[in-house]
């Protein structure tokens, strides 16, 4: 396939033991600036006439058709706290959007160029993928003052294959700190396997079982500089708190699965007419 892995043995050992790995300076300042500028353009061009809210707490708000149809589109989702009692936005849409997804990496040329770059392919190759597919991409804003909490979860819950194969690639486009809502994770929790799934049925989407309780003292904070990327094992328990600060926390997130020998689950929330093209093939 002509792709050489970029991770060192020490990095792979840390990833395999802890369930995550931070790679500093993964993207350059120019790349960060270009991705942020392009997202600003996309927001300006959008009418955002459909007020779909994304929430990891109240899943009923994610059962609308706008959400379910977003797998092959560039769609815009608002923060829960963006609206007033009258149903109108309390501030400009640029400060109200929760995320943009989920086919950003396929439909926008700049995001596709970055996603399918050799640096991303080399990283994914290091993790042992033979025919990797990016099933969803998201630009996440974590807006100042209203950036919502993301409850403890595993990426395999949402992007499931048989056998499980998801890896999250989360890149900070701004400094991510404890002040503005950085990621937190339970090191080594990926070794305990998948605890529940987010499935799609006739009545929308739901989890197949309640979340187990987690002790907050088991989580470690993962602060990252802009341009750093974290690879997250699909079974790692991770979360982020609300952003109550005056500073946003922009990030670009990808979820990669194996398409060689792994079957896409028919009850995943993401259902597509055509699978994305692989990052590379053997």
Which residue numbers in the chain have pLDDT < 50? 57, 59-63
Helix (H) or strand (E) holding 109: helix 109-115
Asked whether the beta carbons of 138 and 73 are under 8 A apart, the reply is no
For 77, the token pair is 């989702």
Q: What is the pLDDT of residue 157?
A: 98
Burial 52-66 (b: 16+ CB within 10 A, else e): bbbbbeeeebbeeee
Residue 178 contacts residue 221 (beta carbons within 8 Å): yes
Q: What is the largest CA-CA distance in the chain?
A: 56
| 146 and 81 Cβ atoms separated by less than 8 Å | yes
Q: Residue 1: what pLDDT?
A: 54
Task: Return the half-sphere exposure (C-beta side, CA atoms, 13 A cut-off) of residue 237.
Answer: 21
Q: Which pLDDT score is estimated for 63? A: 46
Looking at residue 62, its pLDDT comes to 45
Q: Is 82 exposed, middle or buried (0-12, 13-18, 19+ CB in 10 A)?
A: buried
What six digits make up the tokens of 272?
Answer: 């597509």
Question: What whole-number distance in Å separates Cα of residue 110 and Cα of residue 112?
Answer: 5
What pLDDT, on the 0 to 100 scale, is given for residue 59? 42
Answer yes or no: are the C-beta atoms of 270 and 159 closer than 8 Å. Answer: yes
How big is the CA angle at 188 (ends 261 and 253), to the nearest 5 degrees? Answer: 60
């Amino acid at each position: 396939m002509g792709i050489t892995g970029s991770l060192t043995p020490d990095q792979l050992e840390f990833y395999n033991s802890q369930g995550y790995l931070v790679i500093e300076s993964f993207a350059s300042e120019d790349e960060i600036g270009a991705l942020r500028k392009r997202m600003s353009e996309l927001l300006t061009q959008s009418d955002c006439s459909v007020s779909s809210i994304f929430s990891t707490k109240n899943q009923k708000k994610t059962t609308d058709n706008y959400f379910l149809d977003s797998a092959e589109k560039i769609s815009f989702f608002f923060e829960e706290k963006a609206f007033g009692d009258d149903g109108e936005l309390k501030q400009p849409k640029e400060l109200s959007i929760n995320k943009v997804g989920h086919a950003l990496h396929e439909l926008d040329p700049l995001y596709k160029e970055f996603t399918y770059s050799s640096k991303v392919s080399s990283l994914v190759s290091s993790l042992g993928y033979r025919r990797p597919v990016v099933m969803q991409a998201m630009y996440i804003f974590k807006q100042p003052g209203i950036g919502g909490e993301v409850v403890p979860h595993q990426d395999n819950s949402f992007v499931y294959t048989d056998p499980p194969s998801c890896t999250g690639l989360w890149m900070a486009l701004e400094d991510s700190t404890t002040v503005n809502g950085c990621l937190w994770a339970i090191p080594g929790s990926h070794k305990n396997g998948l605890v529940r799934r987010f499935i799609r049925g006739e009545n929308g989407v739901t989890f197949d079982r309640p979340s187990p309780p987690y002790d907050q003292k088991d989580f470690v904070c993962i602060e990252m500089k802009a341009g750093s990327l974290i690879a997250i094992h699909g079974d790692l328990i991770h979360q982020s708190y609300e952003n109550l600060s005056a500073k946003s926390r922009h990030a670009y997130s990808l979820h990669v699965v194996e398409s060689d020998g792994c079957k896409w689950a028919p009850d995943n929330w993401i259902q597509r007419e055509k699978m994305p093209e692989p990052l590379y093939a053997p």
